[in-house]
Chains A and B, each alone.
Chain A
Amino acid sequence: MYAFFQRADYLAIKPEILVTMFALAILLFDFLLEKRDKWMNALVALIGLGFGAAQLTMFWSRLGEGAGYKGFGGAFTLDTFAVYAKLIIIIATGLVVLLSAKYLEVEGANFGEYYALLLFAAVGMMFLASGTDLIVLFIALELMALCEYVLTGFLRGSRRSNEAAVKFFLLGAFSSGLLLYGMSLLYGIAGSTNLAVISRRLAERPSPDPLSWVAMITLLAGIYFKVAAVPFHQWTPDAYEGAPTSITAFISVAPKVASFAFFIRILIEGLWPMRAEWQLLTIGVAVATMTLGNLAAITQTNIKRFFGYSTISHVGYLLLGFVAAADGNREGVTAIVIYLLVYAFMNLGAFGVIILMRRRDLIGDEIDDLSGLMTRAPGMAILMLIFLLSLAGIPPTAGFIGKYFIFLSLIETGHYTLAVLAVGYAVVALYYYFRIVVAMFMKKVPDTVPIAMGMGVRVALGVTLVMTLLIGIYPQPFIAMAREAVRPLFL
């Protein structure tokens, strides 16, 4: 008798199904719209994401104290961790949709496919957050990545956009190969693609085990590429610079959240018996990532490249959470989870301001284009200042909470040197983020054209601003949420 999937299995993927249906609907709906009505595609996308988010909040309250639901023969896990990650992904995608509507009009690339691809990417990411089977994880990862490649090259007339897409695609395909190689070795070791089974089999292996080391290193190399950790970061600045700015905002946030959720699943649920080995590897990669990200950001003049390197340095901080987690410290994973939430809001906020610089006659992606913003548009300058302070990790903002938990978990597990190094790099980060502040507040105004702001950008900036300040000033509910998210993880 065939063991078919249960009704409950399909109910568990209801948010994904809803978002997929809306993405397909946009593809067809787009044909009905006149050129000037294309903004309605964004509306449909938002409605779809809203349905997904509503379903997820229902799951969140229903999951309560339980360990979570395992569906599709253990390949799909719906627990508080997955729901938490999916909510951040949906919110981030929604904010990007809001930021995009006006920007695409200026770029003359206002096609329905843009929103459909965003939603398909979101579906891939949502499965990535829930997958507990190597095959589901790989397909979800590829769904996310393929949509990203196309979106990066979405400005068909622009050389930079096409170049970025091809670079991103070639390196991404290479990293997928590495990842798949690691997965195949793990399957060879365990005889199963299920993470729980892999974890059990790995625990049974004799102690010095070169085969599982190779599997772990190739698998992690693939993931390091996806999260842009040194030495697999080279695609980041190029892809960020060439992509449409709204997509730069998207790929710097949502795929990071999804990839880290994937990372947490692999390391905590799959490779937990090898924690001593991956801890060592993570320390090396995290230090290299923070060093290169922070130092390379200092000399950038293009603001999108600048944010590329800034993202790399944030990934370095996030990786430090795994170092603490490997010692069995639950706070390490909690720190990663909080940091991802905070990072999503502050980074999207900063990109919201950058997107506003784009006009028909100005690309607006050089740091000098922000010169004199304080006299031109004081509100924008102050918003940007708050987001930059948050990115640097200064106390009354959300960024501080994220960094605080990372440092705390490192100190609790006795990694004092790493904690000191991380704090030191926070100072470097403050220096380069303040280069933008200097440009905004102290340089002369090169042009005085007023900044046109669409409704979507207003809402997106409002949400990111409120969240950045709220998490910084009153973090307790968010910390409680993150603890709740980490609870079902086996640690």
Chain B
Amino acid sequence: MLNEYGPILIFMAIAAAFPLVTLWIMKFIRPKFNPTAEKVMPYECGITPESDARGRYTVRFYIIAILFVVFDVETIYLFPWAVQYQVLGLYGLVEMLVFLGVLIVGYIWIWKRGALDWI
């Protein structure tokens, strides 16, 4: 029992010790923390923040985000097929057309339902 789980215990001990030791060493070599207004500002890709990040924004972005995720993730499925196109041949093509067919029904549906309109 101990023979089998011994390595795991050692691994856990090392894993716990590693960040602690790192932090302890860092304490000696890092420069002294010297906050200025510029330094404590939230990082937004180098641009000075305009306002609080916790502002309210319209719920319409939510639908856009969901649609993006759905179609983006689904099209990623096309890449493995494209890479293996020669091997999969006609079979792969038909399978992919079925997949796209289902996706297109969904696309027509959201279009007709008005999810793409910015009211």
Contacts and interface: CB of A to CB of B under 8 A. Distances in A.
Nearest to A1: B87
A31 B111 CA distance: 11
A28 B87 contact: no
A31 B112 contact: yes
B70 to A, nearest CB: 13
Interface string B84-112: 00011001000000000010011011001
Contacts of A31: 112
A27 B106 CA distance: 8
A27 B88 contact: no
B116 to A, nearest CB: 15
A2 B89 CA distance: 11
Contact of A2 (B87, B102, B105, B108): B87
B107 to A, nearest CB: 11
B87 A27 contact: no
Main secondary structure of the interface of A (DSSP, over half): helix
Contacts of B91: 4
A466 interface: no
A24 B102 contact: yes
A4 B112 CA distance: 37
Interface string A15-45: 0000000001001100100000000000000
A2 B91 CA distance: 11
Contacts of B112: 31
B15 to A, nearest CB: 19
Interface residues of B, number: 9
Contacts of B105: 24, 27-28
Interface residues of A, number: 6
A28 B109 contact: yes
Contacts, number: 12
A28 B108 contact: yes
Nearest to A111: B113
A31 B91 CA distance: 33
B114 to A, nearest CB: 11
A4 B95 CA distance: 11
A147 to B, nearest CB: 14
Q: Which of B88, B91, B102, B109 has the most CB of A within 10 A?
A: B109
B81 to A, nearest CB: 13
A16 to B, nearest CB: 13
Contacts of A24: 102, 105
A373 B37 CA distance: 75
A4 B109 CA distance: 32
A4 B89 CA distance: 11
Contacts of B88: 2
A324 B95 CA distance: 44
Contacts of A2: 87-88
Interface string B62-94: 000000000000000000000000011001000
Nearest to A17: B98
A470 B98 CA distance: 43
Nearest to B88: A2
B113 to A, nearest CB: 9
Contacts of A28: 105, 108-109
Contacts of A4: 91
A31 B110 CA distance: 11
Contacts of B102: 24
Given A2-B87, A2-B88, A28-B105, 9 more contacts: A4-B91, A24-B102, A24-B105, A27-B105, A27-B106, A27-B109, A28-B108, A28-B109, A31-B112
Interface of A: 2, 4, 24, 27-28, 31
12 contacts: A2-B87, A2-B88, A4-B91, A24-B102, A24-B105, A27-B105, A27-B106, A27-B109, A28-B105, A28-B108, A28-B109, A31-B112
**Top 9 A-B residue pairs of the complex, sorted by shortest distance between their CB atoms:** A24-B105, A27-B109, A31-B112, A4-B91, A27-B105, A2-B87, A28-B105, A28-B108, A24-B102
Interface of B: 87-88, 91, 102, 105-106, 108-109, 112
